[in-house]
Structure 1
Amino acid sequence: MKLRPTVLALALAVACGTAMAKTLRVANQGDAMSMDPHSLNESLQLSFTANIYEPLVGRDKKLGLVPALATSWSQPSPTVWRFELRQGVKFHDGTPFTADDVAFTFQRAAADGSDMKSYVSQVKEVRKVSDHVVEIETQAPFPILPDVISQLYIMSKKWCEENKAERPVDRRKGVENTASFKANGTGPYRLKERQPNTRTVLVRNPDYWGQIEGNVDEVIFTPIGNDATRVAALLSGEIDVMEPVPLQDIGRLKASGNINVLQGPELRTIFLGMDQKRDELLFSNVKGKNPFKDRRVRQAFYQAIDIETIRTRVMRGAATPTALMVAPGIKGFAPELNKRYPYDPESAKKLLAEAGYPNGFEVAMNCPNDRYVNDGEICQAIAANLARIGVKINLQAETKVTYFPKILSRNTSFYMLGWTPSTYDSHNVLTSIMATPNDAGQGQFNLGWYSNPKVDELTLKVQSETDQAKRDEMIREAFRIHHEDVGHIPLHQQALAWAAKKNIELVQLPDNFMYFKWVTVK
């Protein structure tokens, strides 16, 4: 049987298309916990959903601001921003993207259960000017608004209403809805399959408005918690990319001959927080009072931690100890303030004795074991350090699936957290981590409720100050106060380590986001 020329051409085109289709198999130590982009303000979650959803203002390969769903923005007055929206964009279900979706998204992000409240806490009103123009009015002058909303992903009003997902998934209360398992964004990839903690499959969006520089048609994302299993999967060819690389395996992978290891500094700061609000800790043998309300106890904990041994042994040199809550590269970083309290167990014991705990005390510590680099091991080392000054740590290390709902509910006395300012500006850590919590989203991740009125005052001034020199001095002053208060215990900035087969080209960003539209499979 002979094929007619047109049929033959079609058959060849289909065959070539199939041959050219590229699948990228990615493994991580943990899973994206939900497909709802407003449910968890965590970098893996936001990185993954950034391939499905998009913000008004995006980031380029150097983390500079670029147009995304907004083509331009301007400031007609100090408290009003005007965004011209991209026309012709459709959500994955074919619904046109309009100003209604923007207004709905900001309202949704501010709702109960949202983990993105801090992104919109300064927004007074979102006004629809036309189908493709919106105005965002802020409570006060807010010159960094475009930076702040660069990780606030736009959802379809129509789709959310039809799927009863008008409110965000609430990870703190275990409340789920359709948006946790299904997705409908405007981004370069669509959600094809979602099996939580097993695998998630994305496919290329053929109607994407923008440019997809890479050639990946399908992404299969698999959480593999065990380090050895994850490394073995990469070496055997079962996966193409893995993140993070276990520190002890970096040399082995580099020597394998067919694996590239990508390393670089990360903007994330790992730190410890303490409950400073309750009159009695939830998880301690101290009754009737809260030791962490005493600055001397907080400093004792700080000075008991052997940060250099953690750097060299636990982190194998892949960490930079810090005294600040922000990393170099974040606007407002003040190198002259980056001086830790010295490691000094004897001084720590004296501080505890002065505070009324000459024999130490007992307290539970919450820690993830599949979120940050060697997080469980770091917490074990800290527990051993604190034992030397008489503090017994009841370590509760667990998967982030159960860890985050617990600590985000402030159901903790002593905990570990990592933070990358989404705006790449110090104001983000001031308002999210160091300012006193309120219902509008300020201090949403200040889980131990550290509070200093002067820091609150400076935070408000920083967000509206346009004079850079004055702004930087305010940031430095807030950091000085926080350090003197021992509001948190900063540990280090961990280093990034990804590994990929040599036929994979990808872009590693210092915020640890992985955009599949920039990946090429050769």
Structure 2
Amino acid sequence: MPPISAPRPGPRPRPRAASLPHGPRPAARFAALAAAAALALAATGCGGSSSGGSGGKGETLNLIAMSPPASLDPAKANVGSDNWFVNLAYDSLIHREASGKLVPGLAVMWGYVGNGNTDFELTLREGAVFADGTPVTAQAVAASLDYTRKNGLNVSWLSAIESVTATGPLTIRIHCASANPILPDLFTQVTMAGSVVSPAGLADPAKMGTQSYGSGPYVLDGKATVTGDHYTYTPNPKYWDPSKIKWKKVVVKVVPNPQSALQAVKTGQADALAIGPNQVDAAKSGGLEITKTPAVLMGVNLADRAGTVAKPLSDVRVRQALNHAIDRDAINKALFQGYAQSTTQVSLPGLDGFSAETDKRYPYDPAKAKKLLADAGYPNGFSFPMETQNLLGIDLVTQAVVEQWKQIGVRAEVTTDTTVGQWLGNATSKKFPVLGFGYGGIPTYMLSLDWMLPHATAFNPYASEDPELTRRLAAAAAVPAEQQPALYQEAMRYAVDQAWFVATSRIDGIYAFNPKKLSGFTTGTGYLPDVAWDTTPA
């Protein structure tokens, strides 16, 4: 078990029942994108299920996922694709509602201490216990947070944390070496960084693949679970709020074929799923209701901003020319059938870095693109190697961009990856100055760790550095929540002006569900349908 730091004295935090007016989408990482764009999940109410409004429980909720979880360990699970597997069994410190409001989970009070967003305190709920009966204490939670920040899949999001300290039986102090303004968002069930693991789970993390060690509304039934095929959850009799338990059993079945999943919903065998634009008409014809929200960003990343491999990219005029050469509206109409909007930024409406005017920074203007290239010394264009991936339609966007670049004399030799492993290897190899991308919408602080700050990642493989951009991001991270959106929007506009990328598409995450069988199956920016708390029998 990771050591617990010595207590640190200090003032009490400002009470907060909510944080920034946004929250992370599952994902920033490729796995998070995969969840938003291609996850096909269906919920089935089998047998006689009583209405949630009457205080009764539904018999069985059957969930269909396209792929098995990367891990049942909350720290190592994929944000987005694995949330349902984790959230059923692991309570989070803070709970995010579809509206974006943050409400108490295992923590009943939280807030930053002093100025600069470097110190943060939480007060835990009295009387909460893990499913094995062990009390949820500050020491147990601190140990879980230490484990996650050191071993988690998304450790960069928590990289600013320097220490986690139990300052009392139910109070915790978190100290960051630099400003981290979104700890409340990170500690929700959406990102799972605050999904608390019991001391028994931390003592032997390997067991979390077949057993659950949380304090959530359900527990994993290992005897009724076959890894990679189906996962069965039953109510946790020790849960602190029994009214949150809406079902007598929850089964998550792995079904990789989205067409089969949609057919199951249409025929009444299942109740809800995430679908692609080409499935909307079929879903509607089957009497299903459609709900959608902006979820995924796609385009091309001009990663080699210093011109290490492709010298022309070191000139901002060249990068701007590559933006003006793109007819975004034509691409989105052809590829996404009305379920995508044109954009030039890497943020979504409702997130702190988004501003509507930034969407229009680079109107389609091939003549201007050619002039910019000529002014930069490349009147006949240039060529370079490029990487993309054939997952989720990213390669289709890449192909469309490459074809339009040909009209201004720019030629790309494209390598297309077929697996996530190939993508990670090629994206970080520094062999490809330009990369096709898909990315989930998340707060700018989290996004900056992947894209904008000078350390190597799959989205900034050359560790590009712009001191002015770094300064703007640091300033935004250190101010109170109400001041952050304006500063983050300025930082995003600056990055777009510097043309670090060619964003093209803001794609909707689309869900279809049977309103006669399910209630509370909702989504929003940075939010997936919550089956642990909100989805109930209709």
User: Does the 8 Å contact 2:452/2:460 carry over to 1?
Assistant: yes
Deviations 1:158-187 (A, max 9, x none): 234432x3xxxxxxxxxxx54455432222
Cα pair distance change 1:68/1:100, threshold 3 Å? same
The corresponding residue for 2:102 is 65
Give the C-alpha shift of residue 64 in structure 1: 0.7
User: Does the 8 Å contact 2:388/2:394 carry over to 1?
Assistant: no
Task: Give 1:497's match in structure 2, choosing from 510, 514, 528.
Answer: 510
Cα pair distance change 1:85/1:319, threshold 3 Å? same
The corresponding residue for 2:220 is 191
The corresponding residue for 2:489 is 476
Cα pair distance change 1:224/1:313, threshold 3 Å? farther
Cα distance in 2, alignment partners of residues 464 and 211 from structure 1: 39
Task: Give 1:365's match in structure 2, choosing from 380, 387, 391.
Answer: 387
The corresponding residue for 1:172 is none
The corresponding residue for 2:174 is 136
Give the C-alpha shift of residue 70 in structure 1: 1.0
Cα pair distance change 1:236/1:382, threshold 3 Å? farther
Q: 2:387 is matched by which residue type in structure 1?
A: M
The corresponding residue for 2:141 is 102
Residue 155 (structure 2) pairs with residue 121 (structure 1): no
The corresponding residue for 1:249 is 279
Residue 341 (structure 2) pairs with residue 320 (structure 1): yes
Q: 2:354 is matched by which residue type in structure 1?
A: F
The corresponding residue for 1:391 is 411
| Structure 1 spans left out of the alignment, 5+ residues | 1-14, 166-176, 282-288
The corresponding residue for 2:331 is 310
The corresponding residue for 2:43 is none
Cα pair distance change 1:375/1:156, threshold 3 Å? same
**Residues 368-447 of structure 1 aligned to structure 2 (within 5 Å):** 369-370=391-392, 374-388=393-407, 389-398=409-418, 400=420, 402=421, 405-406=424-425, 413=432, 414-421=435-442, 425-437=443-455, 446-447=460-461
Residue 300 (structure 2) pairs with residue 275 (structure 1): no
Task: Give 2:237's match in structure 1, choosing from 201, 206, 209.
Answer: 206
The corresponding residue for 1:513 is 528
Give the C-alpha shift of residue 461 in structure 1: 1.3
Q: 2:140 is matched by which residue type in structure 1?
A: D
Task: Give 1:146's match in structure 2, choosing from 174, 177, 184.
Answer: 184
Cα pair distance change 1:415/1:332, threshold 3 Å? closer
User: Does the 8 Å contact 2:89/2:216 carry over to 1?
Assistant: yes
The corresponding residue for 1:284 is none
Give the C-alpha shift of residue 240 in structure 1: 2.6
Cα distance in 2, alignment partners of residues 240 and 17 from structure 1: 13
Partner SS state of residue 331, structure 1:
coil
Give the C-alpha shift of residue 498 in structure 1: 0.9
User: Does the 8 Å contact 1:266/1:512 carry over to 2?
Assistant: no
Give the C-alpha shift of residue 315 in structure 1: 0.8
Worse overlay, 298-307 or 475-484: 298-307
Give the C-alpha shift of residue 519 in structure 1: 1.5
The corresponding residue for 2:197 is 156
Worse overlay, 306-315 or 265-274: 265-274
Task: Give 1:234's match in structure 2, choosing from 262, 265, 271.
Answer: 265
Task: Give 1:459's match in structure 2, choosing from 442, 467, 473.
Answer: 473
Residue 273 (structure 2) pairs with residue 260 (structure 1): no
Cα distance in 2, alignment partners of residues 280 and 75 from structure 1: 41
Give the C-alpha shift of residue 493 in structure 1: 2.2
Deviations 1:277-333 (A, max 9, x none): 78755xxxxxxx555444344334433433112221211111121222222211343
Percent identical across equivalent pairs? 21
Cα distance in 2, alignment partners of residues 185 and 76 from structure 1: 28
User: Does the 8 Å contact 2:166/2:172 carry over to 1?
Assistant: yes
Q: 2:217 is matched by which residue type in structure 1?
A: P
Residue 499 (structure 2) pairs with residue 486 (structure 1): yes
Partner SS state of residue 187, structure 2:
helix
Give the C-alpha shift of residue 138 in structure 1: 3.0
Cα pair distance change 1:215/1:316, threshold 3 Å? same
Cα distance in 2, alignment partners of residues 218 and 103 from structure 1: 31
User: Does the 8 Å contact 1:97/1:156 carry over to 2?
Assistant: no
User: Does the 8 Å contact 1:128/1:134 carry over to 2?
Assistant: yes
Cα pair distance change 1:51/1:238, threshold 3 Å? same
User: Does the 8 Å contact 1:22/1:521 carry over to 2?
Assistant: no
User: What is the root-mean-square deviation in Å for CA atoms of aligned residues?
Assistant: 3.5
Q: 2:438 is matched by which residue type in structure 1?
A: L
| Structure 2 spans left out of the alignment, 5+ residues | 1-46, 51-55
TM-score if structure 1 supplies the norm length?
0.78
Cα distance in 2, alignment partners of residues 491 and 208 from structure 1: 45
Q: 1:309 is matched by which residue type in structure 2?
A: A
The corresponding residue for 1:27 is 64
**Residues 28-43 of structure 1 aligned to structure 2 (within 5 Å):** 28-39=65-76, 42-43=79-80
Residue 216 (structure 2) pairs with residue 216 (structure 1): no
TM-score if structure 2 supplies the norm length?
0.76
State how many pairs are aligned.
Answer: 473
Partner SS state of residue 221, structure 2:
strand
Give the C-alpha shift of residue 418 in structure 1: 1.3
